[in-house]
Structure 1
Amino acid sequence: MRIGLLTEGGYPYVSGDAGLWCDRLVRGLGQHEFDIYALSRSEQQEDEGWVPLPPQVSRVRTAPLWSAEDDGAVLGRRARRRFAECYGELALALCAGGPEGAEGVHAAEADRFSSALYGLAELARDEGGLVGALRSEGAVRALERACHAPGALRTARDARVPDLLTVATHLESALRPLSLDWYEEDGLGAVDVCHAASGGTAALPGLLAGHFFGVPLVVTEYGVRLRTHYLTSGAGTAATAAPAVRALLAAFQSRLAAEVYRRAVCITPGNAHARRWQERCGADRAKLRTVYPGMDATRFAEAGESPECGDPDTLVWVGRVEPAKDLVSLLHAFAEVRREEPKTRLRIVGTATGAEGEAYLGHCRALAAQLFPDEADGLHAMGDNPVSFEEIGGPELPTLADAYASGAVTVLSSVVEGFPVGLVEAMLCGRATVSTDVGAVVEVIGGTGLVVPPRNPRALAEACVALLRDPERRARLGAAARARALELFTVEQNVAAFHGIYLEVVSRCPVNRVVLDDTGEPLPFGVPAEAHVPGRWAAPGAPLGSGGDPAWTPGPPVRAMPAGEAAR
């Protein structure tokens, strides 16, 4: 079986998102072939290179989302008319109805968006690309007409020329996959299944492969792309954008998500929290199949199987330092813990990325010095201050497992969380946990840890004190947590689930390819089911068949046996 793995800013790049689970999936399915189609997000990501690829990866094709050179396509009069019609219909679909998700969108508008999208894809295929057209003044004028059309959103009607230029730029970036040369018989037309590693733009090539060649699409979302768009549109520079810009871009993401969910034959959320979001955004419940992320349990085996050896008076927090992790509430909670248990210490293990993360880390250090002024300034090593800020790789914590094993209780204090990977790592280490009730935390914990409301330092402190004072309870919860993690969240479980999904999809939605003989006539059985089976099963040195794979070597003759003898 040949699988086209579609990624955006992820695998196979070294700094790619979700690259780890993709790599584990590809390596775990050595019996299949993988073609990787990757969209990169930055020049730096491309300069950093790829991770080492296993032999089952047949080829990798990449394209940048951060820039698009002029494809040189010059549209004639008829092509320009086709573009104006399709892009105008797309713009009308965005302006009609709010961005509240596919559930609130009239079916006619969903069909309009779908027809316009595939119309643009067909035009790009015929003309060799649409980069110039998507950047043209005609695109901006089409948006302007749609914003002032009858029934348009009130917010869209307020759009000014700078707003329209901003929206057109974002749409051109999101629609760049339409102009790629991936949609040929020897490209995505040659795969048996397209597997998009996320929704949104990453799934767009899968939609076109299904449109042009009938290739079935599987979509995996461990974090729902539409939810991420809503969360980020209210923060940072996106929050300063004009209301018309936010409304139109949200409408585009909503329409695209609904189309992806409608066309996909199987959707695999990573947890029930993501599943509820997908259903709210229009996904058919019959297509949903929850597949938990796979974690490498061997890294944490020593810590998980050994008796509790960490400091019984230490709390541990592990993760990426950023405002969503709410370390401020954790520090205030720890101040209350110290009043009840003066010997308790807190190890904050993690790094900050970007200017925002560095600023937040500095704020947390200053807060620690303010909360514990008589003990240290919050910057000293363990032993000088009850709060220490550390990183993996130092002499105290050489590995991630050592960080979790260094304390009695692992704490998660986030206010926003998708699938809590750090929580699963703590469970694999056999740690008792205290977590805030966000994202998929309750689903992951399953009764093997304590859960408190977010942004509630007192509740967080009370739960930590309860576990610090009860070592037997900590041991029971830690053992139960490790057993649950080994049952549900290992690489083996993840790979086995996707292997079954691939086989089921291919059996229900086979790609019908027509192979012609030398005379141009259709060749019956030209593409047998074994066409893409790797040839590793053949004997060493076996001759090659006409297709380039080792030819089948017959085994010893099988003696026919009467039915009665076979039964005996």
Structure 2
Amino acid sequence: MRICVILEGCYPYVTGGVSTWIHQYIQAMPQHEFVIWAVGASSEDRGKFKYKLPENVAEIREIFLNDALTMGFEKQHYRFSEAEFSALREFINCRKPDWDLLFQMYHDNKVSPIAFLMSEEFLEILMKICHEEYPYTAFSDLFHTVRSMMLPILYTIQEEVPEADLYHAIATGYSGVLARLGSYVNHVPYMITEHGIYTREREEEIIRAKWVVPAFKRFWVRFFYMLSDCAYSGASMITSLFDRAMEIQIEMGCRREKCRYITNGIHYDRFCNIPLKKDNGYVDIGAVLRIAPIKDVKTLLYAFAELKPRVPYARLHIAGPEDDQEYAQECYDLAEKLQLQDVFFLGTVNVLEYMEQFDFTILTSISEGQPLAVLESFAAGRPCVTTDVGCCKQLIGGMEGDTLGPAGYCVPPMHREAICAAMEQLCTRPEERYRMGMTGKKRVELYFRHEDMIRNYLQAYDEVFRKWQESDSV
């Protein structure tokens, strides 16, 4: 089978997290041929891959959203039908457009996005939105905001579609729209897998964002909900990593019979034989993460600053790449301001080699799915302190049917006192640290093995393709 995997903002340009997951995922399925359809923000990243692509990757296509800004104006007189104009009204208003009709216009008939966004039809739709929803907002602000939303998505719809037997988007958003476009063009099924709930993550970012005019934050959120609805409504199967995430997808409009969860899995055998750290007079805490706002490294630094007077022999090792250089510099400056001499920024490391230096690990994210870093820590017999986001509480305490006990501590996100207290517990109670580490190790051995995950996805592919063929033959 030829499978087109569609990714946004990660593989093959960024290491760790979903990128590591998909790289190992493709390698574990040599019987299938893969196409990588990668969506990035800036064309400066073109061809700058952080991974050597597996041998069963037959092709890679790159789309960069900022390329939409280089599209030239071409005069075009396209007469929209009443149905097409209705679809455009729904689209511009971020509601429920007829996506097949949009694909027909902008992919098949090559309607110019720039020509449309400078047309009287676009102004008519926008003026109605302004009158009904933003009567006290400058029309020019609404005009430029909506254009910046719509141009990249119309640009991606015009992309040439790689051939595949099945499209698999590892998120909703732009990649979910492309999966549906691939299904439309080649009349094959597509499925969605979400590691985090994409729309909720974008919503959190927009609420905090300084670049979004406050009056338009609700509109931006509605835009991403529209993209997710596009992906969900046409998918043959929608998977998540744990039961609560699946329930959120259903709350957002997914049909229950399409949904299921497939837990993450890691290569247990690579980690299970890593020896526990030898006593060197310190307790060494590992934070394996990308240095980015969503990982909330600043709160971790503040919490560690509070820990040091209580546990002077504690050390913190932050292992991972700079995902956001500006934020990373803010973290370095904060560590210096707090005079944290026992905080070490290691950059990208081989986790298998560095895990031996850690007594336990910590992850203080404000959003997660089912983090591989926690599973790897468990497999190596290291307990973990996590924030209560995504599936972390279930990883620490066990999912349904798991009675092994706690494998660390789960605390509220952005709560430095609780984070500090949890670290102190694991620093000062070595017997408890050992017991929790062994619990985590057993949990991964029983429930989170890579080979089990791959088997479940192979079965999902077979089911999606079989049901599509059956429905197509009726």
Tell me if both proteins adopt one fold, taking TM over 0.5 as the criterion.
Answer: yes
2:124 corresponds to 1:169: no
Alpha-carbon contact 2:87-2:101 (below 8 Å) kept? yes
Specify the SS of the correspondent of 2:413.
coil
1:4 aligns to what SS in structure 2? strand
CA distance in 2, matches of 1:409, 1:262: 42
Q: Provide the residue aligned with 1:427 in structure 2.
A: 378
Task: Check conservation: 2:240, 2:260, Cα contact below 8 A.
Answer: yes
Q: Distance between the aligned counterparts of 2:90 and 2:205, measured in 1?
A: 27
How far off is 1:134 after superposition? 4.1
**Which aligned pairs between 1:381-530 and structure 2 lie closer than 5 A?**
385=341, 387-392=342-347, 399-445=350-396, 446=398, 447-510=406-469
Matched, 1:263 2:234: yes
User: Is residue 87 of structure 1 aligned with residue 88 of structure 2?
Assistant: yes
Map of 1:45 onto structure 2: 45
Q: Could you give the per-residue CA deviations for residues 12-57 of structure 1, whole angstroms, max 9, x where no partner exists? A: 4466983322222222111122233333321221141474333433
What is the aligned partner in structure 1 of residue 401 from structure 2? Answer: none
Residues 301 and 508 of structure 1: is their aligned pair in 2 closer, same or farther, counting only changes over 3 Å? same
Structure 2 vs 1, CA of residues 339 and 261 (structure 1 numbering), >3 Å: closer, same or farther? same
Q: TM-score, normalised by structure 2?
A: 0.85
State the Cα distance separating 1:220 from its structure 2 match: 0.8
Aligned to 1:541: none
Counterpart check, 1:281 vs 2:249: no
Structure 2: distance between partners of 1:422 and 1:125: 40
Where does residue 316 of structure 1 map in the other structure? 285
Residue among 168, 180, 188 paired with 1:195: 168
| Distance apart, 1:430 and its partner CA | 0.8
Contact 1:310 1:407 in 2 (8 A): no
Structure 1's 14 and 129: CA in aligned 2 closer, same or farther, altered over 3 A?
Answer: farther
Q: Which amino acid aligns with 2:48?
A: E
The count of corresponding residues between Structure 1 and Structure 2 is 462
1:298-318 CA distances to partner (integer Å, 9 max, x unpaired)? 543442xx2453547414131
Give a deviation string over 1:156-214, Cα, whole Å, max 9, x none.
Answer: 774522322221122111222221232xxxx44xx322111211111112212333443
CA contact (8 A) 1:156 1:248 kept: no
Q: Read off the aligned partner of 2:66 and give its amino acid letter.
A: W
Displacement after TM superposition at 1:500 (Å): 0.5
Question: Counterpart of 1:463 in structure 2: which amino acid?
Answer: A
- CA contact 2:276–2:359 (8 Å) conserved in 1: no
What is the alpha-carbon distance in structure 1 between the residues aligned to residue 346 and residue 27 of structure 2?
Answer: 29
Q: Give the gaps of 5 or more residues in structure 1.
A: 95-108, 370-377, 379-384, 515-568
1:230-261 CA-partner distances (Å, limit 9, x unpaired): 1111223334x241x32322222212212321
Rg larger for: 1
What amino acid does structure 1 have at the position aligned with 2:6?
L
Kindly report the root-mean-square deviation, in angstroms, between the aligned alpha carbons of the 2 structures: 3.2
1:73-112, aligned counterparts within 5 Å?
75-78=76-79, 84-92=85-93, 94=94, 110=96
1:224 to 197, 210, 218: 197
Counterpart-to-counterpart distance in 1, 2:370 and 2:471: 37
314-323 vs 63-72, which deviates more? 63-72
Alignment counterpart, residue 249 of structure 1, candidates 195, 198, 220: 220
Q: Percent identity, aligned pairs only?
A: 24
Structure 2 residues not aligned, in runs of 5+: 399-405
How far is the alpha carbon of 1:10 from its aligned partner?
3.6
Q: Once the two structures are superposed, what CA deviation does each residue of 1:120-144 show, in whole Å capped at 9, x if it has no partner?
A: 2112244335333344244640442
Tell me, what secondary structure is at the counterpart of 2:395?
helix
Change (3 A) 1:156 1:208: farther
Residue 461 of structure 2 aligns to which amino acid in structure 1?
Y
Distance 1:157 1:276 in 2: 38
After TM superposition, the structure 1 = structure 2 runs for residues 110-121 of structure 1, keeping only pairs within 5 Å, are: 110=96, 113=97, 115=98, 117-121=99-103
How far residue 83 of structure 1 moved from its aligned partner, in angstroms, is: 5.9
- CA shift, 1:75, in A, is 3.5
Q: What amino acid does structure 1 have at the position aligned with 2:378?
A: M
Distance across 1 between alignment mates of 2:9 and 2:367: 22
Mapped to 1, the partners of 2:298 and 2:33 lie a distance apart of 47
Contact 1:294-1:491 within 8 A present in 2 as well: yes
Identify if the C-alpha distance between structure 1 residues 499 and 315 changes in structure 2 by more than 3 Å, giving closer, same or farther: same
SS at match of 2:63: strand
> TM-score scaled by structure 1?
0.72
Whether 2:92 is the aligned partner of 1:122: answer no
The structure-2 alpha-carbon separation of the partners of 1:79 and 1:16, relative to structure 1 and needing over 3 Å to count, comes to farther
Q: Which stretch shifts more, 127-136 or 78-87?
A: 78-87
Q: How far apart are residue 73 of structure 1 and its match? A: 6.8
CA deviations 1:84-122 (Å, max 9, x no partner) are 554234234x3xxxxxxxxxxxxxx63xx1x2x322211
